[in-house]
Structure 1
Amino acid sequence: MRTSYRKWSEYPYSGEQAPPEPYPAPAYFPMFFIFRQGNNEFLDPFRQRIHWQIKTPDSVEWGAELSFVEQTLSSLTPQKIQLAQYWGNAEATQNMLPMIFNLAEKYRIGSPQTARVLGYFHAAVNDAFVISWYFKYLWDVARPNQYGQNLVPILATPRFPSYPSAHATVAGCADSILKYFFPAEAAGIQETMEGCALSRLYGGVHFEVDNDEGLRLGRQIGEIVVNVLRTQNLNNG
């Protein structure tokens, strides 16, 4: 069935002659909290089927999304460029780890608890990457620079499909996990993680919906993990 949007695997990047080569392998990496059934249904740790909270790309108005990217890139401020480069020139988690260590020090939670926070954070982020890659290659949505427009992105466009944004999915997941461990810091955590997602629009490598839906998907994954933590606390109480 023909989709209503442009396919990533069918169009070359700006200035290139051939479509990009796919690399779907991370979509099939092992996960820690999510279980994959043979028919690509997914179960949570309590073996309940997961109903993913993400729009299908056929329900998105991609023309409007492209126009918004163009408008955004035409009105970038130095602060927005700096945000794009901060999150785009390093691994997203590389920029999140100092926050975790700073919060651990602020609340003096000790080495064992810090290790626990890091363990759940990294395991959850692993699952967020796998699920984001699963949807990327399931739907195969083109990047902004594959529309032949005169876009001038701040960042180099990654060579895998656009929807959803992996940065945003990881940020949404981290948002849920870190708010659980540091509830008094919820506002600052949310601002940081939403800035991570938004930076991909400012960089010109993602549509706004990639980021919004990535955040939503990531928060759902994070909440799956938080439910495990809450259940453990109840059992230990």
Structure 2
Amino acid sequence: MQINRRQLVGTTMAMTALSTLPGCSTTSYGSKSSYLTPILKPQNQNTVYHWVDIVMQQVRDQRVPPPRAAYNFAAPMVAGFLAANAIIGRYSDPYDIGAGPQGADPEVAYGVAFATAASENFQQPFLFERNGFKNRFADGEAKSLGIKWGREVGLKIVKMRTNDGAEPSKANFYLGRYPRRENALKWTPTGPFYGAKPGPAFGSFARGLFPGHGKIKPWTMQSGSQFRSDPFHDPASPEFAEEFDMIRKLGSKDSAIRTPDQSEIALFWEDGPWGITPPGHFILIAMQVLQDRGLDFLDTARALALLGATQCDASINAWDNKYHYDVIRPETAIRHRATAFNNADPRVARDTSWQSYIPTPEFPAYTSGHSTFGAAGIELLTLLMGTNQVSFSHESPDQVLWPVLKGKRRYWTNLEQTADENGMSRLYGGVHWKIDHDAAMKAGRSIARNAYQNMFPKKA
């Protein structure tokens, strides 16, 4: 968070005024706008899922890009858990929150702490959401103590994350944190930009998204580079030639080898900044499969706090890799740069008419954010559940973006399938190299294992 007091006061006043207008508040379970409605059984509604749904809707409605969405998810989920855990006292606290007041309602404290941190990250006061939530609880000392304690914990987390290296825009604040590559692999924007039809497409852009997000202070890692991937291929190597040819054939707009199922996968997992985003998608999947596992309120809060922190750190890892290695996207390589690679393989040749199947994102390729988010989310979910063998099905959470997905449901026989399918979707879409996916899957799993082993252990 990098906002001075004058900016904060001015923005908060503006958002307070805005929040009084129709359509500026989020909707609850049961509505078409709620992400929980399609995936959650009515009897499984709870305070944790309620608040996570609220911030997911904010990500969609504010069109928050994936790395910033991951950042925004973490602090509210962690703050809510810490406030409730301080009252119940089941898990260790790494942030010296201290013991909560005896007799305070932990669910009230969770919601207030969550909303306090979310208000800072989203620059949205959540007035309707706060009041509606508090009105669910009977007045009394437990409620009053919970409100006071929740706000105290929420503000402590906000203060803890102030000056953590984050900035909620593409401002110049982010520039200059990584040196640029000076050879043919150097990332540059390519235009015009394309997308599958019907569906969204990126407009022109002059520079990369969030150049410096990898320098943000992590939640569970020692630094953004703790699990940095090995270097990218030498562009003159046979390995690069194989991947160049693979993506040229598989990921093109009019590919002759991509199957209908692979085309559907590319759109299903696209998750651009018009909806839930990849980190939100895997948190949604976690809520879907955790709902029948018999977790009580605090264990549910802990699971979502771990997921939120891990997705944030996945974004930091991926963006550290992206701007440290500064690697070109397939679109630029195939359309413009192929001859500069000095690769002896004749398959590494320019095709100025080549178009990717889905829109090419506006930042470097290596490693894949999608694959990092997916591997981290699914590895952590597997650790929480104690098994990978979970069968479930799922519809696209934002079908309005890709009308061809309406009514389409995908089925998986285990959790790992979702992570791999999500990562491979970027190859089918023509926006990533195979090594982007492979390296990111390895890093994401490492991030999740590290978080599970070290964050919020049960008290002895």
TM-score bin (small chain): 0.7 to 0.9
1:168 maps to which of 371, 374, 380: 371
Match of 1:8 among 187, 197, 214: 187
Change (3 A) 1:65 1:4: farther
**Paired residue secondary structure (2:388):** helix
Deviation at 1:4, TM superposition (A): 6.7
The 1-side partners of 2:420 and 2:233 are apart by 25
Partner of 1:27: 214
Tell whether 2:308 aligns with 1:122: yes
**Contact 1:176–1:226, Cα closer than 8 Å, also in 2:** no
Aligned 1:1-237 pairs, distance under 5 A: 6-9=185-188, 12-15=189-192, 20-22=206-208, 23-36=210-223, 50=226, 52=227, 54-58=229-233, 61-73=239-251, 74=255, 75-89=257-271, 90=275, 91-147=277-333, 148=335, 149=351, 150-186=353-389, 188-228=414-454, 232-233=457-458, 236-237=459-460
Distance 1:95 1:55, change over 3 A: same
Q: Which has the larger radius of gyration?
A: 2
Give 1:130 shift: 0.6
Q: Encode CA deviations 1:71-114: one digit per residue, 9 max, x unaligned.
A: 21321122111111111134113322332122222212122211
Give the TM-score normalised by structure 1: 0.82
Aligned partners of 1:220 and 1:57: how far apart in 2?
19
Overall identity of the aligned pairs, in %:
22
Q: Distance in 2 between matches of 1:100 and 1:172?
A: 13
SS where residue 214 of structure 1 aligns? helix
| 2: CA distance, partners of 1:54 / 1:2 | 16
Report the 3-state secondary structure (helix = DSSP H, G, I; strand = E; otherwise coil) of the residue aligned with 1:232: coil
Task: State the secondary structure of the residue aligned to 1:57.
Answer: coil
Structure 1: state its 5+ residue gaps.
Answer: 43-49
Unaligned runs of 5+ residues in structure 2 are 1-179, 194-203, 336-350, 391-413
Contact 1:103 1:182 in 2 (8 A): no
Change (3 A) 1:127 1:4: same
Contact 2:376 2:446 in 1 (8 A): yes
The one-letter amino acid paired with 2:269 is: W
User: d(CA) in 2 for partners of 1:69 and 1:206?
Assistant: 8
Aligned length: 219
Kindly state the Cα deviation for residue 28 of structure 1 after the two structures are TM-superposed: 2.0
Moved more, 154-163 or 183-192: 183-192
Q: Which residue of 2 aligns with 1:47?
A: none
Q: C-alpha separation between the residues in 2 aligned to 1:226 and 1:128?
A: 14
- 1:116 and 1:78 map into 2 onto residues whose CA distance is 39
Name the SS for the 2:269 alignment partner: helix
- Give the TM-score normalised by the residue count of structure 2: 0.44
Using the TM superposition, give the Cα deviation of residue 212 of structure 1 relative to its aligned residue in structure 2, in angstroms: 0.8
Retained in 2: the 8 A contact 1:173–1:220?
yes
Instruction: Give the corresponding residue for 2:57.
Output: none
Letter aligned with residue 129 of structure 1:
S
Code of the aligned partner of 1:13: T
Higher relative contact order (CA 8 A, sep 6+): 1
| Contact 1:144–1:207 (8 Å) recurs in 2 | yes
Partner of 2:290, secondary structure, is helix
Which of the pair is proportionally richer in helix? Answer: 1
RMSD of aligned alpha carbons: 2.6
